[in-house]
């Protein structure tokens, strides 16, 4: 969490106030008070997604040619997938919740992400990843 506080401290007062407004938190007070308010009221994943958005890297990452399309599957789709593959949920390959694309789409531990890759030789292929909590 210290790294997030450090990153928030590098953001302008105006941008911090904008984030507070989006999250329906009071946006007045000194910069350190606003940072403390954000850290106390928002989960770490939400703060990281705001930082990614602020730095402008989210759109650049998602639109890059080599980054597959990511989508969080709903529970019905997950049950159908588990039955089709004949596996347990935990047997799927993993992806960390701190992965930039996981954070960008708002994935939480326990979610399953469907990745759609396009290839000139193989065409479209679909992969699945179980979101797990990062140790960092």
pLDDT tens digits, 46-96: 887 787 777 666 667 777 778 899 999 999 999 999 999 999 999 999 999
Which one has a higher pLDDT value, 7 or 16?
A: 16
50 in the same domain as 67:
no
What is this structure's pTM?
Answer: 0.62
What is the domain extent for residue 21? 2-55
Q: What is the CA radius of gyration of the chain?
A: 18
105 in the same domain as 86:
yes
The whole-number pLDDT of residue 136 equals: 59
Q: pLDDT averaged over the chain?
A: 86
50 in the same domain as 74:
no
What is the pLDDT confidence band of residue 3, given thresholds at 50, 70 and 90? low
36 in the same domain as 7:
yes
- Give the CATH number of the domain where residue 99 resides: 3.90.940.20
68 in the same domain as 125:
yes
């Amino acid at each position: 969490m210290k790294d997030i506080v450090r990153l928030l401290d590098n953001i302008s007062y105006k941008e911090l106030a904008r984030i507070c407004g989006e999250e329906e938190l009071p946006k007045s007070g000194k910069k350190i008070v606003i940072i403390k308010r954000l850290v106390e009221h928002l989960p770490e994943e939400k703060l990281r997604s705001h930082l990614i958005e602020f730095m402008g890297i989210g759109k650049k990452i998602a639109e890059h040619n080599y980054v597959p399309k990511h989508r969080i599957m709903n529970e019905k789709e997950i049950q159908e997938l588990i039955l089709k593959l004949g596996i347990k949920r935990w047997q799927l390959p993993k992806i960390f919740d701190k992965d930039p694309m996981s954070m960008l789409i708002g994935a939480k531990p326990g979610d399953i992400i469907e990745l759609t890759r396009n290839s000139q030789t193989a065409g479209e292929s679909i992969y699945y990843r179980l979101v797990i909590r990062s140790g960092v």
